[in-house]
Amino acid sequence: MKIQVHTTPGCMQCRTLMRKLDKSGVAYDVINLEQHPELVEQLKELGLTQAPIVTTEGFSFTGFRPDKIKELERRYRREKPDA
């Protein structure tokens, strides 16, 4: 399962989300939207407008959402090859 966390500089919710994922052992790639402005418009078209933006196949959400983070952790554990 490939997870991407789209962030912006100085985003406290982004840092909090990544700490939570790190603590849970969830692997993810970080994409700084300031360094990839071409992605901002694509994400907006999908209705994803608030950092952090978490995307994975068939599941995405914005902001620090404990309910969505738990769902992401469940999906990650289910799809992790060594689970």
The pTM of this model reads 0.89
For 4-72, CATH number out of 3.40.50.1970, 3.50.50.60, 3.40.30.10, 3.30.420.40 equals 3.40.30.10
Q: Where are the domains of the chain?
A: 4-72
**Residue 55: phi, psi to the nearest 5?**
-130, 145
Q: Any idea which residue has 């969830």 for tokens?
A: 26
**pLDDT of 44-69, one tens digit each?**
998 999 999 999 998 999 999 999 99
pLDDT greater than 80 at residue 80 = no
Enumerate residues 6+ apart whose C-beta is below 8 A from 21: 3, 5, 28, 69, 72, 73
The residue-averaged pLDDT of 26-36 equals 95
Enumerate residues 6+ apart whose C-beta is below 8 A from 67: none
At residue 50, the 3 state secondary structure works out as coil
